[in-house]
Structure 1
């Protein structure tokens, strides 16, 4: 029953109960034409009820189809338009009607059954869909609140990290049938395709860290990138997913440096089990200690006492030399220069004598040979 039909039935009930003394007052209260209320009181049926015989499926069969859609949606398997049409055709074949539903049947079906609607379906991993039970979610929320309260963790220090990506040849979002109370529905997707993964991290206050992109391959290739790329962390793995080494690298180069605090406070990092395998406790502790060591070393360097310059008191009257001191310095300089000249002359004489002796010895050897 639609909203308009429900309003008509409520207006007629209030008139019968004496809430309204006239049809005009009831029509004004429920924003319904008075003629509609008048014809209904006289026994006229609604358009939907009067055309039930023209429907391919009976109201009971359509109720069954609606319930099936809601159950599939609750299991994270919301049916697509084609799948719902196939179910309707199967019901018709059970009735002996082998003619498929028409191309406008889906629009009329949704109009007659406002409990379901056509929404955008988004993929979700099978493990996440199967693990998101009310019991597990309640247990997680209790553990989260207990840990946050015990350690006094602030909202800006709570971070959520997850791995997402794009599968080759798969459309991201499709139209599916789900509860009309939803704006979008999640449907499970297979995990056996090639992926280019992205590690994202955001805080409870909306602050985000640099993304880490993981390509499938042995190493990064320059042909994969355009001329201008964001300043993110880029790496590669054999399957395009997170590995132990990539997880530790993300901790050391992205999370720990970009969330470092000036004061000593706890930080909380929330991640799922798939990514958590790559970020083992030992790896997290090792990366944290290395970052802490670098931070403490920088603080120690900043705290080292600087050697102050020794201040010497100088008499302003003695800052410039007097005439006698200048004359003594000039005489000392002249004496030093004269001594250098004498030494140079002595070295020149010694060098000349050595050359003469060498020439004499050479001439004697020449005469002996002759």
Structure 2
């Protein structure tokens, strides 16, 4: 969340009130009313109240501009140093799908910048997941099919044979 400067630590209607109260002069210190919050949003068109997506605190600490910039600098150096062609550079990603349907999320809405595509609020959840894995080559080609990983499932024997032959 760029507007308040703290990604993952979004303000909601309840948490913004003490912050507003703390910046008022001593003689005018009081909690902002519901109408103040509505008027605040009308004055600040870049803000919107929305439900945030859960973001594990460990992931939030690891995903920041200096860490990501350092990673891509190192990756670029290795690719140049070893003269690795783009057809040998792959990206693998995974997506977890929660088993047993969804859980009802917290109905609390937080202040986010309208420009932010991802609206995250720190949240830790331990869920049983089905994992979908996809792999794409940096040159745009990919002959690796997506796969599904189920918890407790037996591994396919062809994974351990050359060219899929049993």
Pick the TM interval, shorter chain. Answer: 0.5 to 0.7
Rg larger in structure: 1
Report the counterpart of residue 203 of structure 1 in structure 2. Answer: 135
Conserved 8 A contact 1:119-1:176: yes
When normalised by structure 1's length, the TM-score is 0.34
Higher strand share: 2
**Matched residue SS, 1:184:** coil
Report the counterpart of residue 101 of structure 1 in structure 2. Answer: 32
Q: 2:55 aligns with which of 111, 120, 124?
A: 124
Any unmatched runs of 5+ in structure 1? Answer: 1-66, 215-234, 237-245, 258-286, 299-370
Any unmatched runs of 5+ in structure 2? Answer: none
CA–CA separation in structure 1 for the residues paired with 2:88 and 2:104: 36
The alpha carbon displacement at 1:81 in A equals 2.6
The alpha carbon displacement at 1:209 in A equals 1.9
The alpha carbon displacement at 1:83 in A equals 1.6
Higher helix share: 1
The alpha carbon displacement at 1:139 in A equals 2.2
CA–CA separation in structure 1 for the residues paired with 2:42 and 2:110: 16
1:161 pairs with 2:94: yes
Conserved 8 A contact 1:119-1:183: no
The alpha carbon displacement at 1:113 in A equals 2.7
Conserved 8 A contact 2:131-2:149: yes
CA–CA separation in structure 1 for the residues paired with 2:107 and 2:58: 19
**Matched residue SS, 1:79:** coil
Conserved 8 A contact 1:122-1:185: yes
Report the counterpart of residue 180 of structure 1 in structure 2. Answer: 114
Cα deviation, 1:86-123, whole Å, max 9, x if unaligned, reads 4334555944444x433232221022234533344211
**Matched residue SS, 1:195:** coil
Conserved 8 A contact 1:157-1:203: yes
Q: Which has the higher contact order (CA 8 A, sep 6+)?
A: 2
The alpha carbon displacement at 1:180 in A equals 3.5
The alpha carbon displacement at 1:130 in A equals 0.7
